[in-house]
Amino acid sequence: MATVSAAANPPLEAEGASILGLMTHERWIEVGRIILTGAVSFLYWQNLVPLYVLWAAVAIGLYPLMKTGLIDLFAERKIGTEIFVTIATLVAVFGGETVAGAVLMVIILIAEFIAELNTDRARASIKSLIGSVPQTALVREDGGERTVPIAEVRTGQIVLVRTGEKIPVDGVVTGGSAAVNQAPLTGESVPQDKAEGAQVFAGTIVESGAIDVLTDKVGGDTIFSRIIALVENAESERAPVQKLADKIATWLIPIVLIFLIGVFLVTRDVSKVVTLLIFTSPAELGLATPLVMIAAIARAARNGILIKGGLYLELLAKADVVVFDKTGTLTANKPEVVQVQSFDPAFTEVDLLRLAAAADRRSAHPLAKAVVDGAARRSIDVPNPQGFEQLQARGVKATVNGEIVLVGNPALLRDAGVTVDRTVEQTGRTPVHVAVDGKFVGVIFIADTLRSGAREAIAALKESGVKRVIMLTGDNAATAKAIAGDLGIDEVKADLMPEDKVAAITELQKQGLKVAMVGDGVNDAPALARAEVGIAMGGGGTQAALEAADIALMTDDLNKIVAVRNIARRSYRTIQENLWVGVGVVHLLGITAALLGWIGPIQAAFIHLGPDVMVFLNSVKLLRVKIPGA
């Protein structure tokens, strides 16, 4: 498993299980079978053992291939690679090419063994890339501390975590403070400060400090465990190109067998038929896509991006349109004071904000909180109101230093008999009207803050080939258009209900466009489900976000969308390289050389290793190759 120091950027050897760790009892038997068959073939070639010993060795080596091939043939009605190798070996042995058949089988067995081992190693890399959860926890109880197995920790218990240790549970900090490395979960490279009241997650690392954590979730219920389970099961969602490769392999084998029978009837050359059998084997078709998908999913997981299957990687790579929700996605859903405008010389902007903040101190409304926070950021001393009244859908009324202060919308002022004699231009901002002792004295403008990097992320998506970027929001048109203009968004649809967002995506799909929808997971669930690919922001900490979307970003970093789009495009390109170069070109050249008589079975068997190695190396490079944003 990945160590603490390797969490953010583990070396390649740490990314997968060690070779010895993957060597099961069955695999050691396979190694013994390969060595036995190879040794007997060499001894026979040196005239040191009789022919029947070679036949016995070939039978031992061929048994598992023949068994698997026949099970596939009769149980699943599928002609697989194992049948191909069995036929090639038997044709060679009984056609007088005994040594060639034995060598062919040994080399094919080695190739298949290496391919299976490396596939399992790539799968194991998913877990090691993300990390692991401690198997014990230091629990504080009855005035003391004791170490218990993680399975015995219960919700509500206090767990102590110190510098250098991994947090074993999901929970809330109740004491102490620490800098926590959340890279194993979110991909964030900078440790996050955690103090009392902060949420922490299993699998993350305390780099400095010590904290007491009130356990909320443990074991398989933690966000970390759910991510590992979802990523490990992601292979079941196979991409269309992978399904296509499987179909091609299924139809190719019967066609090839008919072709080889024709070649033998024309040439009567057993050696040529055996050579062609090697190059017409569809083995690499089975490797061309799964390895890429495993590597891409692992690479994304290391960056705090959860992809639920290769299907969504391919769909995201082909997406024409990216649709964004506004609130909580493109904006941080944290309104801020952006301007204070006074209409009365008796009140400066500071005076206006002081009075409004005093009136709003006891209100829980988001706009009221923004006013209070705005005063705090400007270090304004805000007095306590002597009286306070919350007026539903209007605002607040308070007495501050003997003055009657109204803070809210124009209707609040009019209901109180205040003349609103100025038209306030909204321009994408929310105006909060302020009246003092019956006189309209100014406006405080509040706007939702844009997410950091939003403009750059949208520009990068367009550079990656996205044709249109669209915003769908329930907010008013003026605010939506102002934000869209700042971000470089192509099209805006405002004042939408959730069902309207679904209808908008459906309309895009009717135009033949492939849509990726980005939302904040819960309230956008219908739209996320309707799009070809649903991407949920901020999956870390919300199970609903993990369930709602096909791809979940564990942080609210919009650049992660660029990263996953680039990973998807790179993986799809890698699959095409595997199919056309690693399989198509090499096999086409091999078949041509075999038909022209330039190579025989043994040379073909050695050359056959080439595509296997090419496909593997080309696939696993996704774990290391430079990808913008990742």
- Asked if residues 205 and 255 have their Cβ atoms less than 8 Å apart, the reply is no
CA distance 400 to 390: 15
The neighbouring-strand residues paired with 322 are 469, 516
How many helices (H) and strands (E) would you count in the chain?
24, 20
Give the strand pairing for 468-472 and 491-493: parallel
Token readout for 343 is 């209409």
HSE-up (13 A, CA, CB side) for residue 98: 17
Give the strand pairing for 430-436 and 439-450: antiparallel
Residue 419, φ and ψ in degrees, nearest 5: -80, 120
To the query of whether residue 325 is one of the catalytic residues in this protein, the response is yes
CA distance 322 to 262: 52
CA distance 352 to 432: 11
Residue 556, φ and ψ in degrees, nearest 5: -95, 35
- Asked if residues 268 and 563 have their Cβ atoms less than 8 Å apart, the reply is no
CB atoms within 10 A of CB 511: 9
Selection from 295, 286, 287 nearest residue 313 by Cα: 295
| Residue whose entry in the numeric block shows the structure tokens 């996205």 | 466
Selection from 365, 368, 340, 364 nearest residue 352 by Cα: 340
Q: What is the CA radius of gyration of the chain?
A: 33
CA distance 562 to 552: 13
The neighbouring-strand residues paired with 159 are 139, 213
Question: Which DSSP string corresponds to 126-177?
Answer: HHHHH----SEEEEEETTEEEEEEGGG--TT-EEEE-TTPBP-SEEEEEEEE
CA distance 586 to 158: 61
Q: What 3-state DSSP class applies to 59?
A: helix
Give the strand pairing for 533-536 and 515-519: parallel
The active-site residue out of 170, 325, 520, 524 is: 325
The neighbouring-strand residues paired with 323 are 470, 517
CA distance 227 to 540: 10
Nearby residues of 224 by Cβ (< 8 Å), 6 or more positions away? 130, 133, 170, 184, 185, 201, 202, 203, 204
Question: Which DSSP string corresponds to 258-291?
Answer: HHHHHHHHHH--HHHHHHHHHHT--HHHHHHTHH
| Residue whose entry in the numeric block shows the structure tokens 């070649």 | 263
The neighbouring-strand residues paired with 389 are 397
Question: What is the residue type of 469?
Answer: V
**Catalytic residue numbers?**
325
